[in-house]
Structure 1
């Protein structure tokens, strides 16, 4: 029998907050998770999440849809680009990122949110 699951980020299963940001997680019965990250102006991974992760660069791979704001990403090899609303990014581990401008960045992430900003 086929079943369905209809979820809403207004009622997340878990919320993790950190300086200038938060991630809201929805968990599904088949062990998949989807996260919505909201990052405030002034947020930078290497400043606000690195102390939680304990790694020099973000080691979470991401597959995410950019809802709002501008997120600048710098890969370990120095490649840098801006991700903007309507775009989808697939990022391997090994990157830094930060909010550009004065608008919140909101992304929906299908890969990297499960352990994002998870305190050990």
Structure 2
């Protein structure tokens, strides 16, 4: 983990890499009280299959704020509404959702809501 004196880090040398059960990982950099993750969600990734066993909750209870760099993903909230995201989309995803990659291209996104994401509880 970085020290509070650090002002920058490169996401390619993260403080931590959190592998999903399958289909990707979350690279995490922390600078003081700021945490940024780069999620690499490979084709076939689905929260309810790849992260639910780690999180231990029925749906994702993390609030995500970030930017989709590439690929496509669908988010389905617990109430059944859906949100499709793709490259260039800036997003806020509230807790209480499932999500999955659409198509064969990995979905890559930066996310500031990952301090506890994909960490065993």
What's the TM-score once normalised by structure 2's chain length? 0.91
Residue matched to 1:22: 25
| Partner secondary structure for residue 52 of structure 1 | helix
Residue 6 of structure 1: how far off its partner (Å): 2.1
Please name the residue that 1:96 is paired with: 98
Query: Separation in 2 of the partners of 1:33 and 1:78?
Result: 30
Segments of structure 1 that go 5 or more residues without pairing to the other structure are none
Alignment of 1:1-120 (within 5 A): 5-18=7-20, 19-29=22-32, 31-111=33-113, 113-120=114-121
Question: Residue 78 of structure 1: SS of its match in structure 2?
Answer: coil
Aligned counterparts of 2:43 and 2:6: Cα–Cα separation in 1: 37
Shift of residue 4, structure 1, vs aligned partner: 6.9
TM-score normalised to structure 1 length:
0.92
Gapped regions of structure 2 (runs ≥ 5): none
Instruction: Give a deviation string over 1:37-63, Cα, whole Å, max 9, x none.
Output: 000000000011111111110000000
Hey, what's the Cα distance between the residues in 2 that align with 1:94 and 1:104? 23
* Cα contact 2:6–2:31 (8 A) shared by 1: no
- Whether the 8 Å contact between 2:8 and 2:31 is mirrored in structure 1 is no
